[in-house]
Amino acid sequence: MSSVGNSLFKQLYGLVITVVSAPFALSANLFK
């Protein structure tokens, strides 16, 4: 149970990192 929750948490964390970092990358390219 804990291993399944851990993998799910890692997937969710990776998705959040991608969503959060995407606008910063776009703004960095825009304001370069």
pLDDT for res 4 = 85
pLDDT for res 1 = 56
pLDDT for res 5 = 83
In three state form, how does the secondary structure of 10-31 look? HHHHHHHHHHHHHHHHHHHHHC
- pLDDT tens by residue, 1-32: 578 889 999 999 999 999 999 988 888 888 76
Structural domain boundaries of the chain?
A: 1-32
